[in-house]
């Protein structure tokens, strides 16, 4: 599943960054804590539905939909 499909109110665990991503973008994701095993949930959605702000490691980071597409997740029960 992709981060862009994560619904509000659900918690997810990051599985990894999609392989097709550029090396630079991949590293930026890692710097921001988008590492395998990290917990993530939707904090808020912008009035125009994009971008979406995610809470990860107690920090709120917003991503555009096409960028959130590159983050692979699983739903955490």
Partner 1 sequence: MSKSACEICDLNGATTLKKLGEVSSKYDYAIALAGNPNTGKSTIFNALTGLKQHTGNWPGKTVTRAEGSFQYKDNKYKLIDLPGTYSLMSTSEDEEVARDYILFGKPDVTVVVVDAGRLERHLSLVVQIQEITNKVVVCLNLMDEASRHGVEIDVRGLSRDLGVPVIPTSARRKEGIGELLLAIDEVATGKYVPEQKTISGISGESRRAVSELSQELLAIDAELPSVSWISMRLIQRDESIEDALISGILSDKITKEEIAPILVKAAKYHDKLGLDYADNVAGAIFGQVTKTVKSTVKVDAGQRAFRIDRTIDKLVTSRTFGFPIMLLLLGGVLWLTIIGSNYPSSALSNLLLDQLYPFLKEGAIQLKFPWWLSGFLIDGVYLATAWVIAVMLPPMAIFFPLFTLLEDFGYLPRVAFNLDRLFKGAGAHGKQALTMSMGFGCNAAGVVATRIINSPREKLIAIITNNFSLCNGRWPTQILMASIFVGVLVPNQLAGTISTLAVVGIVLLGISFTFFTSWLLSKTLLKGESSFFTLELPPYRPPRVLQTIYTSIIDRTLIVLWRAIVFAAPAGAVIWLISNVLIGDKSIALWMIDALDPIGILIGLNGVILVAYIVAIPANEIVIPTVLMLTAMVLGDASLGEGAGVMFEVSDGEIATILYQAGWTTLTGINLMLFSLLHNPCSTTIYTIYKETNSAKWTTIASLLPVVFGVIVCFLVTRLWYMFT
Tokens of 7: 């619904």
Tokens of 71: 């983050």
Instruction: Collapse the DSSP code of 23 into the 3-class scheme (helix H, G, I; strand E, B; otherwise coil) and give the result.
Output: helix
CA distance 68 to 49: 13
Smallest separation (angstroms) from partner 1 to the CB of 5: 18
Catalog residues that contact partner 1 under the rule CB under 8 A.
16-17, 19, 23-28, 30-33, 35-38, 43-51, 53, 55, 57-64, 67
Nearer to partner 1, 5 or 44 (CB): 44
Nearer to partner 1, 5 or 27 (CB): 27
């Amino acid at each position: 599943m992709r981060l862009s499909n994560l619904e509000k109110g659900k918690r997810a665990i990051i599985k990894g960054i999609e392989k097709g991503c550029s090396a630079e973008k991949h590293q930026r994701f890692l710097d921001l804590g988008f590492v395998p095993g990290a917990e993530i949930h939707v904090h808020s959605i912008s009035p125009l539905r994009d971008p979406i702000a995610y809470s990860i490691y107690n920090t709120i980071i917003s991503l555009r939909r096409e960028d959130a597409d590159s983050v692979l997740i699983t739903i955490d029960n």
